[in-house]
Amino acid sequence: MMRDSPQAAAGGAGAFDGGTTDRALGDVLLRVENISLRFGGVHALTDIGFEVREHEVLAIIGPNGAGKSSMLNVINGVYHPQQGTITFRGKARRHMSTHDAAAAGIARTFQNIALFKGMTVLDNIMTGRNLRMRAGLLAQALYFGPARREELEHRAFVEQIIDFLEIQAYRRTPVGRLPYGLQKRVDLGRALAMEPKLLLLDEPMAGMNLEEKADMCRFVLDVNEQFGTTIVLIEHDMSVVMEISDRVVVLDYGRKIADGAPDAVRSDPAVIAAYLGIVH
């Protein structure tokens, strides 16, 4: 992917040349313990607990309204649970703040794409680098020294992502004009630009046709394989889940009803009961 040319070498392309190849699961990266979340009287999540290990692909499944999205929102600090602890990379917290989560290396994509409509694909992905950009306001205003260098380095990195997601042709297109499937890719790209340790994908394949799904599967697996990124995803399409996830956690009415290898979970009576008439 890298060229040995003077230009291409620019930028902290770290993860992209070489990168880790081992899919051997490492130690626990994220642990959530007895999380409970309420909105007013509504119990969105009740006493949820599970672990995610490094380099793992974990799928959270469950019927609509089972609290899957809420779970992600708790992990990256959009919602603050009334009870429970979140331990990420050894640091235990009552709850995350969105900024802490991002700074600690948690990125996510959104179920109904939350891109910055007014901006181009390039700028959208560039925003993912904001935490790594240090130049002060004045430097930026004058576009000199650090500001310029920084801008160009991160551009180089972002181009790696654009190349990786095969969206070169749309670099300068405002995301609003892109078809749905491509917007999903850009959403993923923005998350990847953060070089996350943990990547949360909220229904990455929702509303896609078969071909788009296949592509997205490939991207998710490539991310996991090439950069060793740990992935937690919510997905409805069981075939997808079975294909790409190492482990599955099943939620129903805000409670965890199963947790284990895909096949084991598939045959779990409780899961079948919960899903009766929903899948297959």
Contact with another protein (CB under 8 A): which of 98, 206, 215, 242? 98
Nearer residue to another protein within complex by CB, 171 or 260: 171
Under DSSP, the state recorded for 120 is B
Contact with another protein (CB under 8 A): which of 51, 123, 215, 243? 123
Decide if residue 183 touches another protein (CB under 8 A).
no
Contact with another protein (CB under 8 A): which of 110, 188, 229, 256? 110
Decide if residue 65 touches another protein (CB under 8 A).
no
Could you tell me which stretch among 47-55, 221-229, 249-257, 259-267 binds another protein (CB under 8 A)? 221-229
Minimum CB separation from another protein for residue 43, in Å? Answer: 15
Cα–Cα nearest to 59, from 204, 246, 199: 246
Cα–Cα distance, 32 to 30 (Å, whole number): 7
Nearer residue to another protein within complex by CB, 2 or 273: 2
CA within 13 Å, CB half, 10: 14
Cβ(154)–Cβ(11) below 8 Å: yes
Nearer residue to another protein within complex by CB, 129 or 256: 129
- Position 72, amino acid: L
Decide if residue 82 touches another protein (CB under 8 A).
no
Decide if residue 253 touches another protein (CB under 8 A).
no
Nearer residue to another protein within complex by CB, 21 or 64: 21
Angle between helices 210-227 and 180-192 (to 10 degrees): 10
Cα–Cα distance, 67 to 39 (Å, whole number): 12
CA 37 to chain centre: 21
Cβ(225)–Cβ(37) below 8 Å: no
CA 209 to chain centre: 21
Q: Copy the structure tokens of residue 212.
A: 């788009």
Give residues in contact with another protein (CB under 8 A): 1-5, 7-8, 10, 21, 39, 69, 73, 76, 78, 98-99, 101-103, 107-108, 110-111, 114-119, 123, 126-131, 133, 135, 137, 140-143, 147-148, 150-152, 155-156, 159-160, 162-164, 168-169, 171, 190-191, 194, 222, 225-226
